[in-house]
Structure 1
Amino acid sequence: MLGKVEIAKRIAKEVKDGYYVNLGIGIPTLVANYVRTDISVEFQSENGVLGMGPFPFEGEEDADIINAGKQTITTLEGASFFDSATSFAMIRGQHVDLTILGAMEVAENGDIANWKIPGKMVKGMGGAMDLVASAENIIVAMMHTNKRGESKLLKKCSLPLTGVGCVKKIVTNLAVLEVTKQGFKLLERAPRVSVEDIQNATEGNLIIEGVIPEMILD
């Protein structure tokens, strides 16, 4: 079973040379720390940053340089800052190659719910709606089950949707899954996690073909 750092490490393997990548709030923000050093990647944040680097070391934070989740960040050489209109023009114009988001629920058809729990106060959807409407390659980083042990990979989302049929791949603490027309296709399993464990934790249709390999994180 993976922790948040291991989930981020696995997703970092999906980042390719030359990509422009948007990182959502939560686990996705950790991905920048684990991207290969021999490739060139530009991380974009919808609050107006292009060229984000890893998180700063303690004592080296600059409170004026933050990501969309208001966490202090570093910037790489050549980084740029701009207004929200320019940032969302990049997103809506499909200039971002990969979007990595957290989620509260994902449905077997690729629907995502990640912005609101009814009855709980939220400030708004933020940039998630634009990201899921515009991005062609969305990977979700999430826990496979909630605190009650109930599946978050569902036949149909129960929470208000952020986007419809948009998620392509999911990396959880248990598995890597691809969203297909038939449901969640199991690609990899976390170390020391069995296929049966993943089946028991998945409400949506789980497709299992052949021997499922264990994730390689290094």
Structure 2
Amino acid sequence: MGMGQESRDRIAKRAAQELREGMVVNLGIGIPTQVADHVPDDIGIIFHAENGILGAGGAPAPGEEDAFLCNAGGFPVTIVEGASYCDSSIAFAMIRRGCIDVTILGALEVSEGGDLANWIVPGKRVAGIGGAMELAQKAKKVIVLMNHVNRQGESKVKKQCVLPLTARACVDLIITEMAVMEVTEQGLLLKEVMLPYTIEDVVRATEASLAIHEHVAYIP
């Protein structure tokens, strides 16, 4: 089941609200790349890219792309004042050293225990594992942005992941076009619902067990 641009923007905008002044943040491919476009200019977030940028900005205006300036997914980006460049080995050393405050990733599946599967569907072509395995294990907080269900209408929020894992028990927060769910020691906690969906809609679309926050917020 596909997702429209409006829903993708809502997810990215909600994810941007998790970021705070001075954080070093890595954005994965897909919806996460849009998060930078929703961070106010007066909040100093340092966006990190595995291909060697520290201080990436949002997407350039159409026609203003620099063919030599892109993120790890190959998409054009801008840079902010004070940005710096390094080779990819230094960029990955930052990840391995635990210097990334937040990583925002896409996912194929997330389990109720916070396991992440996001790198391969068996039998399908894959470009490579990428940096998600290290980011998922080393970042101080892991946020997943994804569709709530797959193209077959099956929940991507699982009791247990079926697809090969990227990392175990690494996800802290899941944001979909339907809901915001926190991974706790007791399992998944439904904290926010994206209108026009209801709590009942989210529960029906979720394979994993969900605890309901006593004060669920509704996001317009």
1:156-192 per-residue CA deviation (whole Å, 9 max, x = no partner) reads: 0000000100000011000000001222100100011
Is 1:148 matched up with 2:177? Answer: no
CA distance in 2 between partners of 1:74 and 1:211 (Å): 39
Corresponding residue SS for 1:179: strand
- Name structure 2 gaps, 5 residues minimum: none
Query: Which one of the candidate residues 64, 71, 80 is aligned to 2:68?
Result: 64
Query: Which one of the candidate residues 71, 79, 82 is aligned to 2:83?
Result: 79
Is 1:6 matched up with 2:10? Answer: yes
Corresponding residue SS for 1:214: strand
Q: Is residue 106–residue 154 contact of structure 1 (8 Å, CA) maintained in 2?
A: yes
Q: Is residue 182–residue 205 contact of structure 1 (8 Å, CA) maintained in 2?
A: no
CA distance in 2 between partners of 1:211 and 1:138 (Å): 24
Query: Which one of the candidate residues 33, 38, 63 is aligned to 1:34?
Result: 38
Corresponding residue SS for 2:218: coil
Q: Is residue 116–residue 159 contact of structure 1 (8 Å, CA) maintained in 2?
A: yes
Aligned residues: 216
Aligned AA (1:115) = W
> How many Å apart are 1:111 and its aligned residue?
0.3
Q: TM-score scaled to structure 1, two decimals?
A: 0.96
The corresponding residue for 1:175 is 179
The corresponding residue for 2:27 is 23
- Name structure 1 gaps, 5 residues minimum: none
Over the aligned positions, Cα root-mean-square deviation in angstroms equals 1.2
Describe how 1:43-58 pairs up with structure 2 within 5 A.
43-58=47-62
Give me the identity figure in percent. Answer: 51
Aligned AA (1:7) = I
After the TM superposition, list the runs of 4 or more consecutive aligned residues in structure 1 that deviate by more than 4 angstroms: none
> How many Å apart are 1:150 and its aligned residue?
0.8
Q: TM-score scaled to structure 2, two decimals?
A: 0.95
Corresponding residue SS for 2:59: coil
